[in-house]
Structure 1
Amino acid sequence: MTKKLRPTLAIKGTLGLEADGRNFGGRERIALLLKIGELGSISAAARDVGMSYKGAWEAVDAMNTLAGEPLVHRAVGGRSGGSATLTVRAQRLIDVFQRMEAIHQRFLKHLSAVADNPLSDIDLVRRFTMKTSARNQIAGTVSTVQSGTVNDVVQIDIQGGQQLVATVTHESAQSLGLAPGRSAFVLIKASSVIIGLPDGLSRLSARNQLKGQVSYVKRGAVNAEVGIQLDGGSAIVSIITTASLDALALSEGMPVVAIIKASSLIVGTFDS
């Protein structure tokens, strides 16, 4: 069976004009004006650009109205007769639009060159714009899914070769399309992150024990916020009591382990 290749995503865009908040037109209407100037006939221009005769007349009327002055002078002579000429303003508009279109196409070409993989770059932008109350948002790739009757166990590879393990309902895993190779993200409340010391850790039932070091400490009256730079580049935030902060004697640069129960992870995907 031949594996279906993922289609290449290209960045495209169209240039349009507005007048007083109303759509003046874009490439199609400018093309119509250009053909009217070349052929001297609205009906002939409509046929050439693949537009209906009625649609062409309506487009010309709309452009004349929105421009605030005539763009096309018409000499009525019946459906097959008559003539049409462009005003100086229309000729200037065509020239300006063509210049703008050339600049626009160069911009799109440059944007495509910057985005070596447009699909992944768009996903990244979506991640930046995602809003959630969870302090910790970590992206990764699903590596394994162990299906169960009620719950599935999902392992997600993150930066630096570390893994996160989450338990989700089987129905949720199916709905999200979780499978090896699928891009996903994990949300973790800061209060769900327990901090431990790497030396002398007791055996724990928590599936997630991520190594890192303290990046900052913000002490409050009752609780403290502790930032942890995980091995490999990801970062995570924990909220603990000041009593725990003092008991562990946490300070910047100190090696620690972020401990999180698999049931405390919320898994999501970026695809619609």
Structure 2
Amino acid sequence: MTEKSASGDRPEPLELGGSVWFQAGDQTLGGASRIALLAAIRETGSITGAARAVGMSYKAAWDAIDTMNNLAGEPLVVRAAGGKGGGGTTLTPRAARLIETFRAVESEHRQFLERAGAAIEHFASDWPLIGRIGMKTSARNQLYGTVSAIVRGAVNDEVSLVLPGGQTLVAVLTHESTETLGLAVGLAAVALIKASWVMLIVEDDAGEPVRLSARNQLRGTVTAVKRGAVNAEVSLELPGGVVVTAVITNGSADALGLAEGAPAIAAFKASSVILGVSEHDTGNGPASRQ
């Protein structure tokens, strides 16, 4: 499992990560760094030496010790008389058990992460999909594709998105939005189109090309027609399994002869398309712009 490094020079492995810490109520008793401090005190018998060993200042070490003592409700570290850097420092039996318990839990946690990482064979490709599935929007149509072209203008840009079945849709958005989303050829993106913005068309018997001002005309096959009191919800499956849904009147559905298995064209304006990108694809956080 790999992904490109920040420099783009070489792939780097994707790994699951996590950490272990102890809590006392809502307060954090300690994680790896504080447990390491306790272990260093046991090894060196000195706050000064322990702080140096774990890369802490003397004051930060004692602050951490005071916090752990308070949250544990009993002493974990006992300092003998002798002044700063002087007398010995020892751990109580409770602190010694805490170190061993933490190390045992941390070992089990590490093994869990290793097993989970090995089990997720397609982690690199599945994780962005999980992010897209979790996206919530009022737009019924959410079409995932790859940016194939960007035609830049003084104010607006025309962005082409290739869908899984090979058909292309076009979105018109401001140049500022293109920059904000970080759109570039090859980037994965999602096109959002409300069902009420989609028109359905059927070709005549001669199969003449349809002439419309709507830039997007996606050909597919009707898979479902759900009728209501006034409107019908029509689903059109495109090549590649992508489904586009349109809401039209029952009268229009009848006039077009729309029924399951019938060919049809989903048409919508380029200005009706909202483009969104995932934080997993750009690293900039989720966003959508029109």
Instruction: Return the TM-score normalized by structure 1.
Output: 0.88
RMSD value, Cα: 2.4
Task: Give the 3 Å change call, closer, same or farther, for CA 241–177 of structure 1 in structure 2.
Answer: same
Task: Give the 3 Å change call, closer, same or farther, for CA 255–16 of structure 1 in structure 2.
Answer: farther
Matched position secondary structure for 2:165: helix
| Residue in structure 2 matched with residue 19 of structure 1 by the alignment | 24
Give the aligned residue type for 1:235.
Answer: V
Matched, 1:49 2:54: yes
| Residue in structure 2 matched with residue 220 of structure 1 by the alignment | 228
Give the aligned residue type for 1:258.
Answer: A
| Residue in structure 1 matched with residue 251 of structure 2 by the alignment | 243
Offset at residue 238 of structure 1 (A): 1.3
Query: Are the aligned partners of 2:47 and 2:85 in contact in 1 as well (CA < 8 Å)?
Result: no
Query: Are the aligned partners of 1:184 and 1:268 in contact in 2 as well (CA < 8 Å)?
Result: yes
Matched, 1:40 2:40: no
Matched residue count: 270
Superposed counterparts of 1:38-77, under 5 Å: 38-77=43-82
Query: Are the aligned partners of 1:162 and 1:232 in contact in 2 as well (CA < 8 Å)?
Result: no
Offset at residue 195 of structure 1 (A): 1.7
Task: Give the 3 Å change call, closer, same or farther, for CA 19–231 of structure 1 in structure 2.
Answer: same
User: Percent identity over the alignment?
Assistant: 53
Task: Give the 3 Å change call, closer, same or farther, for CA 21–232 of structure 1 in structure 2.
Answer: same
Write the deviation string for residues 206-262 of structure 1: whole angstroms up to 9, x where unpaired: 222222223333221111222222210222221111112222333334333222221
Report the Cα distance in structure 2 between the residues aligned to 1:133 and 1:123, rounded to whole angstroms: 21
Higher alpha-carbon deviation: 53-62 or 166-175: 166-175
Matched position secondary structure for 1:149: coil
Consecutive unaligned residues of structure 1, counting only runs of 5 or more, are none
Consecutive unaligned residues of structure 2, counting only runs of 5 or more, are 1-6, 285-290
The equivalent position to 1:151 in structure 2, one of 129, 149, 156, is 156
| Residue in structure 1 matched with residue 183 of structure 2 by the alignment | 178
Report the Cα distance in structure 2 between the residues aligned to 1:17 and 1:116, rounded to whole angstroms: 31
| Residue in structure 2 matched with residue 256 of structure 1 by the alignment | 264
Offset at residue 115 of structure 1 (A): 4.9
The equivalent position to 1:232 in structure 2, one of 228, 233, 240, is 240
Matched, 1:138 2:143: yes
Superposed counterparts of 1:190-205, under 5 Å: 190-197=195-202, 200=207, 202-205=210-213
